[in-house]
């Protein structure tokens, strides 16, 4: 926050801007933490359902990030909201397709362990 010039602003506007920057930094920290948890889940879990949930966490982190930066940086408030709606649509389609693939894998292998998916090779 040291590189932001607050000296030319009236005292109340400078305080508001400093507060908004602090909120944006805290929200950014939350988004990074949420994304890191999702990435860890994708890399460390063996269950396909847990991997799917972790990917959903990562997509939610991206949506929150778009909304936060849109609130503070974009002149048009609809831009971040539209991007977030696209992310939600992609997440819904991804969940539906991934669950159908997981159901097919379970019917074939009687397991949803990601290591057993190698056995599906033709």
Residue 33: the pLDDT is 94
Is 90 exceeded by the pLDDT of residue 39? yes
At 90-115, the pLDDT tens digits run 999 999 999 998 898 899 888 888 88
Average pLDDT for 37-48: 93
Place of tokens 């849109």: 70
Range among 8-17, 26-35, 63-72, 77-86 with highest mean pLDDT value: 26-35
Structural domains in the chain, CATH included, are 11-114 (1.10.287.3510)
Q: What is the DSSP letter of 47?
A: B
Q: How far apart are CA 52 and CA 38, in angstroms?
A: 9
| Nearest by Cα to 69 from 36, 37, 21 | 21
**More reliable by pLDDT, 16 or 28:** 28
- Contact criterion met (CB below 8 Å) for 47 and 54: no
């Amino acid at each position: 926050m040291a590189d932001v010039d607050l000296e030319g602003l009236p005292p109340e506007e400078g305080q508001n801007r400093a507060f908004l920057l602090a909120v944006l930094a805290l929200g950014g920290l939350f988004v990074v933490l949420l994304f890191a948890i999702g990435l860890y889940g994708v890399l460390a879990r063996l269950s396909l359902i847990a991997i799917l949930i972790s990917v959903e966490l990562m997509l939610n982190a991206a949506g929150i990030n778009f909304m936060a930066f849109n609130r503070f940086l974009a002149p048009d408030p609809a831009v971040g909201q539209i991007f977030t709606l696209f992310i939600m649509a992609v997440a819904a389609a991804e969940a539906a397709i991934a669950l159908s693939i997981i159901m097919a894998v379970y019917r074939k292998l009687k397991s949803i362990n990601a290591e057993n998916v190698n056995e599906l090779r033709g």
